[in-house]
Amino acid sequence: MTEGTTVRTTLWALEGLEHLFFGNGQRVARRNAWTAVLEDRRRARARHEAETVLEAASDRRALLTSRG
């Protein structure tokens, strides 16, 4: 199973439980909250990748300027 498949399967299971225990309004609110969490994680990954690239570029530039 891939990570995406695992997440989808887990979400479907949770949605099934929500259907049993909660009304429509709470299900939608929880789904929206989970979507926000996933989006925050995506942005954090993108921010980390950007920081890594910028640090590598900065280190390379410092190395080049110290030689010349």
47: in domain: yes
What pTM, to 2 d.p., does this model score?
A: 0.54
User: What SS3 state is found at 1?
Assistant: coil
Alpha-carbon distance of 49 to 54, in angstroms, equals: 9
Contact at 8 Å (CB) between 15 and 30?
A: no
Question: Does 57 reside within a domain?
Answer: yes
Q: Which residue has the higher pLDDT, 1 or 20?
A: 20
> Does 60 fall in a domain?
yes
Residue 3 lies in a domain: no
Residue 18 lies in a domain: no
According to the model, what pLDDT value does residue 1 have?
Answer: 64
Residue 41 belongs to a domain: yes
Per-residue pLDDT reduced to its tens digit, 14-64: 888 878 877 777 878 888 999 999 999 999 999 999 999 999 998 888 777
Work out how many domains the chain is built from and give that number. 1
DSSP annotation of 22: S
- Give the range of the structural domain holding residue 38, as residue numbers without chain letter: 24-68
Instruction: Encode burial over 29-38: b for 16+ CB neighbours within 10 A, e otherwise.
Output: eeeeeeeeee
